[in-house]
Amino acid sequence: MKLIIAIVQDEDAGRLVGALMEKGYGVTKLATTGGFLRAGNTTLLLGVEDEKLSTALGHIEKICKSRRQFVNSNMTSLDPAMGMGLPSNIEIMVGGATVFVLDVQQFQKY
Ligand code: 2BA
């Protein structure tokens, strides 16, 4: 069994959870905050059988979009000293999804 930890944009979270639930995956949705933008994002926890891993990752890849975002560098966690000389508005590409896959040693429901 694997544990998928997927950090996705709020805009994609509802659709992704809907699609995963419809396919019978167990999903936990956490409201989280990105360290760089200090803005809300969504972290999903999914425990999946090994043979369903690639299908689950396929749903995440299909639904989560990359988005261009313009941010004021003063609003990020960038050290202001490092930003010297940089334009205050910077363009970054966020997403589609940041995904970690971990081996699950034990799975119990009590
Ligand atoms: P944030 O930390 O708010 O980062 C949002 C986006 O800002 C990132 O998109 C990336 O495009 C940009 N970014 C992050 N750090 C940067 C830096 N030092 N300089 C310039 N640009 C930077 P993604 O890479 O798609 O990440 C989306 C969210 O996924 C992140 O939100 C964070 O919550 C999570 N994440 C990304 N990599 C992670 C990691 N290695 N471990 C844990 N969480 C991670």
Tens digit of each residue's pLDDT (9 = 90 or more) over 13-71 = 999 999 999 999 999 999 999 999 999 999 999 999 999 999 999 999 999 999 999 98
What's the gap in Å between 94 CA and the centre of ligand 1?
A: 7
E strand residue ranges, the chain: 2-8, 27-33, 40-48, 67-72, 89-94, 97-103
pTM, whole model, 2 decimals?
0.92
Q: Tell me what pLDDT residue 41 has.
A: 98
Residue of 36, 74, 90 best suited for mutating to test ligand 1, as the one with most atoms within 8 Å of CB: 36
What's the gap in Å between 16 CA and the centre of ligand 1?
A: 20
Confidence band, pLDDT 50/70/90 cuts, at residue 87: low
Q: Tell me what pLDDT residue 4 has.
A: 98
Residue 96 pLDDT > 70: yes
Q: Is 83 a pocket residue for ligand 1 (Cβ < 6 Å)?
A: no
Confidence band, pLDDT 50/70/90 cuts, at residue 74: confident
Phi, psi of 81 (to 5 degrees): -65, -35
Enter the tokens of residue 86: 């940089």
Confidence band, pLDDT 50/70/90 cuts, at residue 81: low
Q: Tell me what pLDDT residue 24 has.
A: 96
Q: Tell me what pLDDT residue 78 has.
A: 73
Phi, psi of 70 (to 5 degrees): -100, 125
Q: Tell me what pLDDT residue 80 has.
A: 67
Enter the tokens of residue 20: 């995963």
For residues 62 and 18, the answer to whether their CB atoms sit within 8 Å is no
Give the span between the Cα atoms of 99 and 26, in whole angstroms. Answer: 16
- Sign, CA dihedral 78-101-7-107, equals negative
